[in-house]
């Protein structure tokens, strides 16, 4: 059974940085990974995705240039480096795993989800 465990969330101020981590276990190889977020009263939205090799990444326009997704396959971990955080980045952040190595930028088509980690950016 696949298990995804996120960590690294917290309360920060505008302009601060955070790095989220997501450790995967119980999966088969290869797999793509993604980060999504959901703010109160809103639908879950795409943030960033990365394919198995790390050679393909994609970002939501709202985070492009501020967030960086990366992965370490030796540790079965994907990261989301978030810089220049804004209050509108406040949300629960979820990581997702997609078997086969590829990625999609919709919340549909992912095989497993983590429990989420809260990120709160104060103004």
- Tens-digit pLDDT string for the chain (123 aa): 899 999 999 999 999 999 999 999 988 889 999 999 999 999 999 999 999 999 999 999 999 999 999 999 999 999 999 999 999 999 999 999 999 888 899 999 899 999 999 999 999
Q: What is the pLDDT of residue 32?
A: 95
Query: End-to-end distance of the chain based on CA atoms, in angstroms?
Result: 40
């Amino acid at each position: 059974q696949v298990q995804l465990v996120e960590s690294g969330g917290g309360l920060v101020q505008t302009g601060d940085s955070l790095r989220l981590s997501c450790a995967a276990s119980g999966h088969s190889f290869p797999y793509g990974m993604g980060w999504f977020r959901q703010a109160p009263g809103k639908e879950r939205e795409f943030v960033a995705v990365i394919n198995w090799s790390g050679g393909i990444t994609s970002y939501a326009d709202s985070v492009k240039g501020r967030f960086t997704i990366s992965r370490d396959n030796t540790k079965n971990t994907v990261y989301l480096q978030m810089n220049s955080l804004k209050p509108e980045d406040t949300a629960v952040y979820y990581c997702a795993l997609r078997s086969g190595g590829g990625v999609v930028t919709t919340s549909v088509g992912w095989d497993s989800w983590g429990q989420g980690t809260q990120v709160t950016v104060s103004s």
